[in-house]
Amino acid sequence: MIKSFFKDKTKEEDVLNVPEHIAIIMDGNGRWAKKRNMPRNMGHKAGGENVKTITKACDKLGVKYLTLYAFSTENWKRPEEEVSGLMDLLVFFLKSELKELHENHVRIRTIGDISHLPKKTKQVLDDSIEVTKNNTGLNLVLALNYGSRNEITLAVKAIGSKLKDGSLDLDDINEDLIAEHLDTADMPDPDLMIRTSGELRLSNYMLWQLAYSEFYFTDVYWPDFGEEALMEAVKVYSNRQRRFGAV
Ligand code: FPP
């Protein structure tokens, strides 16, 4: 469902279609820090601050799902210090923000295999998911140890094992069934995908789910991508015509 804001009902350009689901690749933390002669983890810290800003802005706008690429299956290749810094940052973010998020009816969820995250990070995540599980406001979906190819591989394996044990028939396999076996099973596909920092690729992010999404790329580094920048992206999205393959 698309929520519309009417500033002036007579002017078409003043009608803002708010995406139900925004997915973001939060890129450029490292370059943001480098530009300031700071260590990379300071860039992630600033990026974490911006997660709060954009979560609040999306909530205010009426977005129902905000999915953030916080740690990919490939990010383990980064220096140990950076990986542990990111894991600690996640713990800090959840511990300091949980109360306010919960009061604002935000539901915290994850996609990706969080069973492989450090014990402490997993524990804080499990608690946050549990505390907010009945909230009906914004779904803040953190993609953690997430990679689309891994997600699809696991889905294929799960379907294969159901075929093998006879609980599924070959004819049962269709797009809906595959979608039901992905981490996003009960979520709508993203309407808008934003990638910051000028990189023009998907980096193994939601390959199935982004099939018909609108893409928005900006040169702005993630820590600088504030509320105004988000509004600009939503405005551009509003003016796109989505045809889903039809004419
Ligand atoms: C990409 O920038 C960013 C990441 C790999 C991590 C994203 C994490 C955060 C924004 C902070 C923590 C998140 C939460 C939910 C609190 P990069 O390091 O690849 O930047 P670069 O390309 O400029 O080096």
The pLDDT tens digits of the residues spanning 100-135 come to 999 999 999 999 999 999 999 999 999 999 999 999
Domain presence at residue 11: no
DSSP assignment string, 190-215 = PSEEEE-TT----TTSSTTTTTT-EE
Closest of 24, 30, 55 to residue 192, by C-alpha: 24
DSSP assignment string, 105-168 = TPEEEEES-GGGS-HHHHHHHHHHHHHTTT--S-EEEEEEEE-HHHHHHHHHHHHHHHHHTTSS
Distance CA 107, CA 68 (A): 14
pTM over 0.75: yes
Domain presence at residue 6: no
Domain presence at residue 136: yes
Domain presence at residue 59: yes
Distance CA 76, CA 147 (A): 12
Are 216 and 234 in contact, with CB atoms under 8 Å apart? no
- The pLDDT confidence band at residue 241, using thresholds 50, 70 and 90, is confident
Domain presence at residue 244: no
Distance 137 CA to ligand 1 centre (A): 25
Domain presence at residue 197: yes
pLDDT at 247: 78
CATH number at residue 59: 3.40.1180.10
Domain presence at residue 64: yes
List, for residues 123-132, the tens digit of each pLDDT value: 999 999 999 9
Cβ neighbour number for residue 247 with a 10 Å cutoff: 3
pLDDT at 13: 43
Tell me, what amino acid is at 65? Y
Ligand 1 pocket, Cβ-based, cut-off 6 angstroms: 26-31, 44, 47-48, 51, 68, 70, 75, 86, 89-90, 93, 142, 197, 222
Are 122 and 87 in contact, with CB atoms under 8 Å apart? no
Domain presence at residue 61: yes
Is 75 catalytic? The answer is yes
What total number of domains does the chain contain? 1
Is residue 14 pLDDT above 90, yes or no?
Answer: no
The parent domain of residue 98 ranges over 16-149+190-238
- For ligand 1, atom 18, which residue shows the shortest CA distance? 30
